[in-house]
């Protein structure tokens, strides 16, 4: 997985998060964004390992 794929994936996730923030109650959106952030950081760190 190269940098471009990662950036594109992040852009899609951010777009989804923004859409959900607009469409859903605040608590649901905050929870979703938190989960996505944790998963993204975890994946990123996992990718960094040799």
Residue 14: its pLDDT value, please?
Answer: 82
Q: Which domain holds residue 42?
A: 3-48
Tens of pLDDT along the chain (50 residues) come to 577 887 888 888 888 878 877 887 878 878 888 888 888 888 888 888 77
Contact 20, 32 (CB under 8 A): yes
What's the domain count of the chain? 1
Residue 1: its pLDDT value, please?
Answer: 56
Contact 17, 32 (CB under 8 A): yes
Residue 22: its pLDDT value, please?
Answer: 82
Reported pTM: 0.46
**Cβ within 8 Å of residue 33, ≥6 positions away:** 17, 20, 21
């Amino acid at each position: 997985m190269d940098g471009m794929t990662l950036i594109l994936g992040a852009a899609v996730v951010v777009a989804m998060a923004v859409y959900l923030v607009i469409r859903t109650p605040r608590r649901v959106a905050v929870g979703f964004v938190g989960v996505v952030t944790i998963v993204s950081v975890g994946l990123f760190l996992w990718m960094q390992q040799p």
